[in-house]
Structure 1
């Protein structure tokens, strides 16, 4: 029995369990049910795959959990640690609680509804990938950086398919200018170039999420890091150098060296969610310049004494970068106003419903009298 417990404990350690998670577990509500910690390793439309002390199980949340959830982010996501109960005689579990997240990459859910979606949870590093072909786009990478800084994970930029580029160092320099303080690495999985630069991140128990647009080589990168074929891959379209969708769901893989790598579906467009701190971090160079403007409320347009416009004139700041900063700031502000408006309507509707229920209760009391 002791050897079995040791083996199960080692399995938990392999998936990133440590004293911090143990402390979070001890702070969760006590339960009479035999709950155990488990990590979400795959997410499907209505179910999850979780790694429990007894092995891999299929899982769903309890009815109470689903009833109390307000946003999509209230539900478990790949990378989350949960408290689960094994169903007797089955390799299925039900999830009762979600342990507080250490980090989470969040985006606005698709559609017109104001809701969020967790791309991945509890990552130590976030590999943001962009291919060095016709799909290279600095402005798009800035959006990913905003979400990355907001997540709480450490962002790392990987410029993939470096073998397809005549001057990869020039692209790396452009990316470094647009990503102050973020490591930028040139790699080519097909040519086996650049892996040594990634070794400091590839540590046992550490979790890395790989994100980026479709066709940047995320699945190829994962196979390269694993040293074996763990994901299917597809080539790029010749007409526009864009990739075909390979990954259709989020999944967490345990590499032979003990690193956990999360593959995510490619995104044509990343819609940001509540990311003002990430905006400031991503555009820290503009924020620093703005602190030297003559006026605190400088709009960086035609204002006299604008340090930001002066930097553009001097050639130390790219005009397109300022444009993207302003555009994204407006987008986030619009989103906040929309969220506040919907919240007010919801509160008003809830208040109206409460008053109606109170009136019905009073009416019932009067009838009884």
Structure 2
């Protein structure tokens, strides 16, 4: 019978549980992990098996932002209903990693892709999907999440110059493991064994058509996810995965498949920019001015590296572009928080005023 230990429950999570809920008055609460996110309902794995879960009204009203809601991979506190037929979610254990992005459009909201992930596989196919500049953005998301990034170059059987592309990706991702694999030829799986051992959680992310669902089926040894062929003209694929699910692999690891992304909009920067562009950060330490923007300043070690060929100019341009984007994103977030705080203050004043008028009417 499947138990929560197979889904990553260990002494660390047990200790966190005791800190938060051992002394609670409600002794009915049991731990579970969200293994499927279907919007308003969740599939949850508990020690007594898998069940459907939904938020309690009290918990729902404590959430302020979209990022507060439970996500795939979360450990939650449940009360079982109707003999375990379904469950009510009463709380979430603190996350040790959060993979998130900004929702598409102008809305200033966070979308959590997955939580409590140990390794994040950043997937790019070795066809027309191969894009170093885009991978730099995914690396920022990975470093900000708290998970360890690993780059997977899929469909190696379709590429005649895989070694040169591996070298190109390694140059753009200092210190990050890069592996070329082929699910079709069952080639490269042994390279991934250190990341998919018992109790370890990995997630896959990448653009549509890069082969994530195929990777899930390959690593799990069976067809769990539907796959579709990419378009011949541009190697773009359709969204095969429409929701997030968590699966157990034969080696004991846990894997999360996520819908493909047409565009990755970064949510915020927790130091991920400097880690993703660590070569630029190292060079910047030798700049004459501590606040050097690496544009026209004299004594800029970064610009000098571009001139000598040590640093690719396209990489610096992408760094500048992403830096501006994150700064703009941060400014919008601050403005939104101020607006929300001001609105809350006004509503609080109105509530107090209403109470004062009510007292006068009663008097």
Q: For the superposition of Structure 1 and Structure 2, which TM-score range results when normalised by the shorter chain?
A: over 0.9
Shift of 1:289: 0.7
Please name the residue that 1:28 is paired with.
20
Picking from 170, 177, 185, the partner of 1:176 is 170
Please name the residue that 2:202 is paired with.
208
Label 1:31 to 1:212 Cα distance change in 2 as closer, same or farther (>3 A).
Answer: farther
Larger CA deviation: 167-176 vs 22-31: 22-31
Matches within 5 A, 1:1-369: 11-29=3-21, 30-369=24-363
Larger CA deviation: 269-278 vs 42-51: 269-278
The 3-state SS of whatever aligns with 2:90 is strand
Shift of 1:368: 4.7
Unaligned 5+ residue runs, structure 1? 1-6
- Whole-Å Cα distance in 1 between the matches of residues 166 and 283 of structure 2? 23
- Whole-Å Cα distance in 2 between the matches of residues 103 and 240 of structure 1? 34
Asked if the contact 1:33/1:85 (under 8 Å) is kept, the reply is no
Shift of 1:257: 2.1
The 3-state SS of whatever aligns with 2:82 is coil
How many corresponding residue pairs?
361
The alignment's TM-score, normalised by the length of structure 2, stands at 0.96
- Whole-Å Cα distance in 1 between the matches of residues 265 and 17 of structure 2? 32
Please name the residue that 1:4 is paired with.
none
Larger CA deviation: 179-188 vs 30-39: 30-39
Unaligned 5+ residue runs, structure 2? none
Shift of 1:90: 4.6
The alignment's TM-score, normalised by the length of structure 1, stands at 0.95
Give per-residue Cα distances to partners, 1:258-282, cap 9 Å, x unaligned: 1111101100111111124111110
Shift of 1:365: 3.5
- Whole-Å Cα distance in 1 between the matches of residues 249 and 360 of structure 2? 69
Asked if the contact 1:83/1:97 (under 8 Å) is kept, the reply is yes
Give per-residue Cα distances to partners, 1:172-208, cap 9 Å, x unaligned: 1110011011000011110111111111112011111
Asked if the contact 1:159/1:185 (under 8 Å) is kept, the reply is yes
**Root mean square deviation of aligned Cα:** 1.3
The 3-state SS of whatever aligns with 1:258 is coil
Label 1:63 to 1:32 Cα distance change in 2 as closer, same or farther (>3 A).
Answer: same
- Whole-Å Cα distance in 2 between the matches of residues 154 and 307 of structure 1? 29
